[in-house]
Chain A
Amino acid sequence: MSATRTLVSPAVLARPRGKAVYWAVFTGVVLLFALAFLFPVYWMVTGAMKSPDEVARTPPTVVPERWHTSGFTDAWELMRLPVHLGNTVVQAAGAWLCQLVLCTAAAYALSKLRPAFGKVILGGILATLMVPAQALVVPKYLTVADLGLLNDPLAIWLPAVANAFNLYLLKRFFDQIPRDVLEAAAIDGAGRLRVLWSIVLPLSRPVLGVVSIFALVAVWQDFLWPLMVFSDTDRQPISVALVQLSQNIPLTVLVAAMVIASIPMVALFLVFQRHIIAGISAGGTKG
């Protein structure tokens, strides 16, 4: 075991008293984490499986007396979850694809193709980092309305491309690829698109993964923007539909729908947890 020294010295921890305190703190933290973070999720999942009477009972039951699955089937049909989940998938996948294609192309041009006024354009893009997105939702909404994109998935896809953070992440990664490698390929007769496709992109797999996860999560979690641009119920993603329908739906059905809405992102997290956690930890210290 690597003995990196932290706040408490290993010598203190090795003593019987230190050991006892360590295990007491450890148990305390495990219990705290279970109670604070896992129990609310447990409560949501079991709440969805209680009967409508049981869920309203005081004091509540910790384990459902009988496990019902009707909440999930009712939510699926009554709240038309397939429609809203489908909308969310279309919006998230399209935003991801648009970002990958257009941000990657722009970052490649800014990094390697030396466009005239490239510095000015990059400056303009970086300046948008200073403008918090939410403060501009109203004029952005008016622009989307003028373009006739309301209630259209393009209203999610195209604004998603204007993501300075992801574009800058890509550009910085491309900057590290030595120019000689690309020039050698160009001498062999490869065009710019070919160089991007067969040399730059395969080298950039890690950063493309990070950008993909950021892009998907951002669309799936967003609420205010889709609330504004999708007034048509049939076009609304799951986040907006949940809130709009939450008023007049039985509690167990709503909670079941909440569980279903959470599953894709939680599954994505559990599958890619190591990458996501490493990405956040690295992103924080390296700006």
Chain B
Amino acid sequence: MRTPPPRPHPWRRRLADQGRAYAFLLGGVLCFALFSWYPAIRAVVIAFQKYTPGAEAEWVGTANFTRILHDPEFADAWRNTLTFTVLALLIGFAVPFVLALVLNELRHAKAFFRVVVYLPVMIPPVVSALLWKWFYDPGAGLANEALRFLHLPTSNWSNGADTALVSLVLVATWANMGGTVLIYLAALQSVPGELYEAAELDGASLLQRVRHVTVPATRFVILMLMLLQIIATMQVFTEPFVITGGGPENATVTVLYLIYKYAFLYNDFGGACALSVMLLLLLGAFSAAYLRLTRSDGEDA
């Protein structure tokens, strides 16, 4: 047996404990302070300044906001981002939802389906964007070849002003739906079988069972996945940057793309931060709703 070391004064011991606790805490907290907390404050500050790296910052009041509000691209970017989000909800949510419903009924090759549907998620987003840019190629692109093979009229895909945005939504859906399918599939497995049995005894058809049993029983996960999808698609950047470069005719400029352009093409960091603050407020509202939802569920469970 070892004898315990002599006890120092309690307050000294407390101080030493605190010192050690902070030694563990310091590195992580410093990173949060530098790369999360400070930038959040700084975004708001610079939004009201004329800011060029290396030069003295100048207070300009709300000039940045009025300038970006008068930029014709501003309205385009918001309209495109909102359209993208709505389309991604319609296509990018309906497809994985139905797919998960069907997959949950299949009793064979379960592992195969799960691996295959998640495969595109693991392909780097840049690669899937470049891949689909090649598919959408008006010359030897696979998309038009497939339409010709089926004797259907060809499309301009990402090169047409009216089809570009939908084409990008298809890419984003293809690349990201694996996660949604897997999460929803897990939720479906928690629906008690007796509910289906009872509904069937009451004479409910297949679609009625989906509507009155499956959807209400998984309502929470559906809402959560929708919010996550909205938050993710409102920050879309890689697909428009790589596939269309924001074109044709600004048809695919998104808010995040516009932020990038203000900062790195126009060298206007004040405008970029003003835009960031707007995006931040909107997305923050969605995030708050999401966190509230997940937290209240955690307390129930």
Contacts and interface: CB of A to CB of B under 8 A. Distances in A.
Given A55-B140, A134-B235, A258-B131, A167 B28 contact: yes
A242 B130 contact: yes
Given A7-B101, A131-B280, A239-B126, A162 B32 contact: yes
A137 B58 CA distance: 21
A37 B117 contact: yes
B295 A287 contact: yes
Nearest to B194: A5
A261 interface: yes
A268 B124 CA distance: 12
A254 B140 contact: no
Interface in B243-299: 256, 259-260, 263-264, 269, 272-273, 276, 279-280, 283-284, 287-288, 291, 294-295, 297-298
A177 interface: no
A7 B196 contact: yes
Given A108-B24, A134-B237, A41 B140 contact: no
Nearest to A105: B24
Interface string B15-42: 0011011101101110110111111101
Given A143-B42, A228-B264, A43 B106 contact: no
Interface stretch (B72-80, B86-94, B107-115, B157-165): B107-115
Contact of A41 (B25, B123, B134, B260): B123
A4 B134 contact: no
A142 B272 CA distance: 12
B63 interface: no
Given A7-B210, A29-B103, A262-B124, A43 B142 contact: yes
B123 A265 contact: yes
B278 to A, nearest CB: 9
Contacts, number: 308
A109 B120 contact: no
Given A8-B105, A129-B291, A265-B122, A135 B280 contact: yes
Interface string B37-49: 1111011001000
Label chain A's interface by main secondary structure.
helix
Interface string A32-43: 011011101101
A202 interface: no
Contacts of B126: 223, 239-240, 242-243, 261
A33 B168 CA distance: 20
Contacts of A140: 35, 39
Interface string A139-162: 111111101000000000011011
Interface residues of A, number: 108
Contacts of A58: 139-140, 145
A139 B276 contact: yes
Interface string A192-222: 1000100000000000000000000100110
B187 A285 contact: yes
A132 B231 contact: yes
Contacts of B279: 132, 135
Contact of B40 (A34, A44, A139): A139
A159 B22 CA distance: 20
Contacts of A285: 183, 186-187, 190, 221
A26 B201 CA distance: 26
Contact of B104 (A7, A30, A144, A188): A7
Given A130-B288, A158-B35, A138 B259 contact: yes
A36 B174 contact: yes
A129 B145 CA distance: 44
Interface string B55-70: 0000000000000000
A37 B116 contact: yes
A9 B206 CA distance: 10
Contacts of B148: 59
Of B101, B120, B127, which is in contact with the most chain A CB atoms at under 10 Å from its CB?
B127
Given A26-B109, A255-B134, 12 more contacts: A1-B107, A7-B105, A36-B174, A37-B119, A43-B142, A58-B139, A128-B37, A130-B291, A132-B284, A143-B42, A158-B31, A270-B115
11 contacts: A4-B189, A60-B142, A105-B24, A130-B288, A135-B235, A139-B39, A158-B35, A162-B32, A220-B124, A223-B126, A246-B130
Interface of B: 2, 4, 17-18, 20-22, 24-25, 27-29, 31-32, 34-40, 42-43, 46, 51, 53, 101-109, 113-120, 122-127, 130-131, 134-135, 139-140, 142, 145, 148-149, 174, 179, 182-191, 193-194, 196-197, 200, 206, 209-210, 214, 221, 224-225, 231, 234-235, 237-238, 241-242, 256, 259-260, 263-264, 269, 272-273, 276, 279-280, 283-284, 287-288, 291, 294-295, 297-298, 301
Interface of A: 1, 4-9, 22, 25-26, 29-30, 33-34, 36-38, 40-41, 43-44, 47, 55-60, 101-103, 105-110, 113-116, 118, 121, 124-125, 128-132, 134-145, 147, 158-159, 161-162, 164, 167, 187-189, 192, 196, 217, 220-221, 223-224, 228, 238-240, 242-243, 246, 251, 254-255, 258, 261-262, 265-266, 268-270, 273, 276-277, 280-287
